[in-house]
Amino acid sequence: MSFQGKKLINDSNAVVTEFIEGLVETYPGLQYLDGFPEVKVVLRADVLSSTYDYVSVISGGGSGHEPAHAGFVGEGMLTAAICGDIFASPPVDSILAGIRAVTGPKGCLLIVKNYTGDRLNFGLAAEQAKSEGYKVEMVIVGDDCALRPRGIAGRRGLAGTILVHKHGEPGAAVADLQPVDVVVAHVLMQILSAEINYVPIERGNNVVLMVNGLGATPVMELMIAAGKAIPRLQLEHGLAVDRVYTGNFMTSLDMAGLSITVMKVDEGILQRLDAPTKAPAWPVGVDGKRPPAKIPVPVPQSPNLQCNELSTRPQELSEQGHILEVAIEAAASELINMRDALNDWDSKVGDGDCGSTMFRGASAILEDMKKYYPLNDVTETIKEIGSSIRRVMGGTSGIIYDILFKASYAELKSTNQSTVTSKEWASALQAAIAAVSKYGGAIAGYRTLLDALIPALEVLQERLNTGDDPVDAFVISSEAALSGAESTKHMHAQAGRSTYISSDILASVPDPGAMAAASWYRASALAVKKFHQTS
């Protein structure tokens, strides 16, 4: 078999999950949520959200930076680590699963590196967790001094590493690099073969396993090797593995590869292996009592719903349900009609896909509204819109709109009212704007969708406070949204890919995101006005 690549892995798409499997086998104080491949969360085995009476500390990010972050999970440090794919921010569902798994009544703190993807994904997860009743706060860390930050990007979050090394030595043989399964199987067979009889180990014996890095092999690959060695020792060779040690114990400068050591043990040897030591590179001893390596993914808290109860469209709509339906339909239809125009604007100042992205979201909303949206319940309908967006809208736009609707849902839910007043709608919009600004970093004048929504909110609140008719206030505020979006032509971009575009090009078109927001906002306002005029 020809194996392309220079890494001790099986499948490049599975390296993170296989790394986690090896990690929890090596450190019995850790567990992972049984949600592979979407959910990749490492957590303390001694923490249960229902009984944990401390503030949980959660971090995470793209994998490939080991031992960060999973290597720092343990008493006195992280309660859980959320692992993304290689160099990719972890998805919202993984972050939520981690929050639900370890967060008790004291709440949790999210420690997030200053990357747009991390900020938005952790921010959306925080808003969703808050809407479920969790106490969540977030701190952004940016410590990079190598690059000068542009716009609102700020300094990146980084960390340093320490290398351990010693004198080199020759290998026993030279061979083409094989998948890690093949390498591990071959090495263990060499060690335990009855014909070769290197060590007096027989089926039924107790052993410890050491997977030792030689200097240039990443911790991820060592953990994958450990995870593959354990079941082979247990199933093929009939051995009980009492301890697993994985890491750089004896290296050869930056030599690539690893060594595997299997040692027969009894209770006396285990006691000596577990004895306290101040040697910094030796792993902490364990008592041999291992919790299960994986536990089920926790389900969202749903105090008001049975587990099998799903949102459905009511057979008959109330007046409020009818109004909500026409507003949603008008907003979504407007975005569908604007696909080409939005794409054209975005081709000049962005990725050229704003219209297509909004089209996918709007189409999903229209389709799901026919089946799932409980339109007579405004608050729950807002929640379902967010779910539709999350399912189909990719990129930054999808995250931002999901944050918008999650924050709106949390604000409306806090009122505990069956009907929503005009001022409560305004409060929900205010909460949504605040959440997007908090997690995305943008404010008024940064050439984003907030330049449409902030003027709309200001006019809406002003008109409502002076006693204007709510429908008229909605329509007038939509005019402010459109004016705000058009004014982005005169703004210098401070967020997103537009920060790299020259001012001359930016001045030729409005911000596509702002125009999209203004357009669906105005379309919904005019639809509500028409409904009241004809009813």
Residue 255 dihedral angles phi and psi, to the nearest 5°: -65, 135
For the cut 50, the answer to whether the pLDDT of residue 94 exceeds it is yes
Pair 24, 294: CB distance under 8 Å = yes
> What is the per-residue pLDDT for 282?
61
> What is the per-residue pLDDT for 281?
54
Between these two residues, 339 and 87, which has the higher pLDDT value?
339
Q: Which of 99-103, 158-162, 472-476 has the lowest mean pLDDT?
A: 158-162
Pair 11, 17: CB distance under 8 Å = no
Q: Write out pLDDT tens, residues 350-361.
A: 777 889 999 999
Provide long-range contacts, Cβ within 8 A and 24+ apart, for 469-478: 470/422, 471/528, 471/529, 471/532, 472/529, 473/422, 474/422, 474/525, 474/528, 474/529, 475/525, 475/526, 475/529, 477/521, 477/525, 478/518, 478/521, 478/522, 478/524, 478/525, 478/526
> What is the per-residue pLDDT for 305?
42
**Top-confidence range, 49-53, 79-83, 154-158, 308-312:** 79-83
Please indicate whether residue 167 is annotated as part of the active site: yes
Q: Write out pLDDT tens, residues 8-39.
A: 778 878 888 998 999 889 888 889 999 888 89
Mean pLDDT, range 476-499, rounded to an integer: 80
Q: Which of 126-130, 258-262, 435-439, 491-495 has the lowest mean pLDDT?
A: 491-495
> What is the per-residue pLDDT for 427?
96
Q: Write out pLDDT tens, residues 159-169.
A: 321 111 117 34
Using left for φ > 0, alpha for ψ between -120 and 50, and beta otherwise, residue 162 falls in beta
pLDDT class of 535 with cuts at 50, 70, 90: confident
How many CB atoms within 10 Å of residue 123? 28
Q: Which of 53-67, 97-111, 513-527 has the lowest mean pLDDT?
A: 53-67
For the cut 90, the answer to whether the pLDDT of residue 322 exceeds it is yes
Give CA–CA dist 127/96, Å, rounded.
10
Mean pLDDT, range 391-399, rounded to an integer: 85
Strand partners, 351: none
Q: In what order do the strands lie in the sheet with 258-264?
A: 240-247, 206-213, 258-264
Token output for 416: 């505990």
pTM: 0.68
Give CA–CA dist 534/437, Å, rounded.
38
Mean pLDDT, range 237-261, rounded to an integer: 81
* Cα distances (angstroms) measured from residue 153 to each of 123, 279, 440: 16, 41, 9
Per cent of the chain over pLDDT 70 is 82
Mean pLDDT, range 368-393, rounded to an integer: 91
Q: Tell me, what amino acid is at 14?
A: A
| Buried b / exposed e along 211-223 (16+ C-beta atoms within 10 A) | bbbbbebbbbbbb
Pairing of strands 80-86, 41-44: antiparallel
Query: Whole-angstrom distance between the N-terminal and C-terminal Cα of the chain?
Result: 73
> What is the per-residue pLDDT for 304?
46
Pair 232, 207: CB distance under 8 Å = no
The angle subtended at Cα 435 by Cα 525 and Cα 357, nearest 5°, is: 60
DSSP 388: H
Cis peptide bond upstream of 470, omega within 30: no
pLDDT class of 144 with cuts at 50, 70, 90: very low
DSSP 159-193: -------------S-------HHHHHHHHHHHHH-
**Top-confidence range, 68-77, 175-184, 370-379:** 370-379
Q: Tell me, what amino acid is at 331?
A: A
> What is the per-residue pLDDT for 160?
23
pLDDT class of 3 with cuts at 50, 70, 90: very low
Mean pLDDT, the chain, integer: 82
For the cut 70, the answer to whether the pLDDT of residue 81 exceeds it is yes
> What is the per-residue pLDDT for 155?
45
For the cut 90, the answer to whether the pLDDT of residue 210 exceeds it is no
Catalytic residue among 65, 69, 165, 167: 167
Q: Which of 18-22, 179-183, 281-285, 415-419 has the lowest mean pLDDT?
A: 281-285
How many CB atoms within 10 Å of residue 23? 28
